[in-house]
Chains A and B, each alone.
Chain A
Amino acid sequence: MKDDVILCFCEDLTRDEIREAIKKGATSFDELKRLIRCGMGACQGKTCEENIQREIMTITGRKREELPLPRQRPPSVGIYLEDAARGDDDEK
């Protein structure tokens, strides 16, 4: 049965699309990210990670604690280029 529930809101990825990519061999969050962009959007994986890790567990049969966490990269939230350019100068 078709399952078009969206698990990654930034990139509009459905459960079926995510499962298909896992079945193709992308069995970690960071590998999936490179193939289908989950975790590359505005949330940087903060909203979708648990849902997607659960799909990896279901398909690969691995336990949650066996699955590598995605690499965390800065900034922790999106930041305007003009603010990044200013740095902390305006706080002095």
Chain B
Amino acid sequence: MMKNSAEVVIIGGGVVGCAIAYNLAKMGCQDVVVLEKEYLTAGATGRCGAGIRQQWGTEMNCKLSKASMDTFEVLNEMLGYPEDIELKQDGYLILAYEEKEIEQFKKNIALQNSLGIESRLIDPGEARKIVPHLNTEGLLGAAFCGRDGHANPFHVTQAYAEAAKRMGVEIYTYTECRDIEREGDRITAVVTDRGKIKTEKVVNAAGGYSDLIGAMVGLDLPVYSERHQIMVTEPVNPLQGPMVISFYHHFYCQQVPHGAFIMGQGDPNEPKGHNIGHSWQFLQELSGKITGTFPALKKLRVVRQWSGLYNITPDSQPILCEAPEVPGFYMAIGFSGHGFMIAPMTGVVMAELILGKDLSMPVHKLDLGRFDRGELVLEPSVV
């Protein structure tokens, strides 16, 4: 039987929704329901590239990702997870092929270092030492942070979900949010395909579908979704330490602890929308980039390709706030392709925001109003 009322209803069973649920419960608010229309991680979380990095170009993304990395490092213990989140910290190597990239990286690194993130600019020779099979032709340099790396999105989400459930949170999978009811400007209930849940507080953590949830309370949110495709190879013995990414070539490629190489690319011509299909053009294009940059991988077999949605804001930074026009409607949306890696800290600040506590990290710069005020700080480092 489903509960018919809850203090907080979270829409979205991805890593963000589950991290918020866990933190609410930990802070004493256990009357929480998470709604997920399929199963946990069925959306963007379970489709992402599984990278976690701190090398960002805005203060807020750096702070959120650094605090989240601190949490990933102790997550198994913190959540009492009997399995393993498969943390790997062999770094992120970000390739530069143009002088203007080097200039941008210098700015980013200065910002990162000022916030305690240990990144540095390295020359192609050192990049080759870190990734021996890297083709350095045309490479001008690279940014590197050895504490960046990988975690398994399925296990991270499961770990949060299990810990939340132990504290009394109810997670309803295969339960879709159909509508949000209001009286005046107050929220009164969430309508699902399995019945109604009375509540005054709703959290939009619906990832690629956050615009549809916003529309249920009359908000036209400044976000859109965009398909990003990704593929994986057969597992092989450990070969590549860091995640290697290139903004110039729009690709990323890492070897996960299990042995498979996961790789993806952004397509500047991808139309907006909720399409999560796949294309042979992607397979061909990305395979060309990967075999060019890593010739030693040419005899690796691709076994699967899929895609997921980036939920993108005009400045590529998330929206973390309560909607001013709709009290009780909270948003953790618009992660622009890096929601997984900042989910741990997002969960903390969202729970504090919802419960009216002092924020352990000020996130007022990530409110919805910044777009109207024109106070945008553009994140330059997105694949």
For B258, the chain A residues whose CB sits under 8 A away are 37
**In the assembled complex, A1 has its CB within 8 A of some CB on chain B:** no
Number of A-B residue pairs, CB cutoff 8 Å, is 75
- B234 A42 Cβ-Cβ under 8 A: yes
For B154, the chain A residues whose CB sits under 8 A away are 34-35
- B278 A74 Cβ-Cβ under 8 A: yes
For B287, the chain A residues whose CB sits under 8 A away are 81-82, 84-85
For A40, the chain B residues whose CB sits under 8 A away are 232, 260, 303-304
**In the assembled complex, B233 has its CB within 8 A of some CB on chain A:** yes
- B284 A41 Cβ-Cβ under 8 A: no
For B300, the chain A residues whose CB sits under 8 A away are 80-81
Contact residue among A26, A30, A78, A85 (Cβ-Cβ distance under 8 Å from B303):
A78
Interface of B is mostly: mixed
For B302, the chain A residues whose CB sits under 8 A away are 75, 78-81, 84
**In the assembled complex, A31 has its CB within 8 A of some CB on chain B:** yes
**In the assembled complex, A61 has its CB within 8 A of some CB on chain B:** no
Alpha-carbon gap, A42 to B300, bound state (A) = 12
For A82, the chain B residues whose CB sits under 8 A away are 287, 291, 298-299
Q: Which residues of A contact B (CB under 8 A)?
A: 26, 28, 30-31, 34-35, 37, 40-42, 44, 73-75, 78-82, 84-85, 87
Q: List 22 A-B contacts (CB under 8 A).
A: A28-B39, A30-B39, A31-B39, A34-B154, A35-B158, A40-B232, A41-B303, A42-B303, A44-B304, A73-B306, A74-B304, A75-B283, A75-B302, A75-B305, A78-B234, A81-B233, A81-B290, A82-B291, A84-B302, A85-B287, A87-B280, A87-B284
Q: Which residues of B contact A (CB under 8 A)?
A: 39, 41, 46, 154-155, 158, 232-235, 258, 260, 278, 280, 283-284, 287-288, 290-291, 297-306
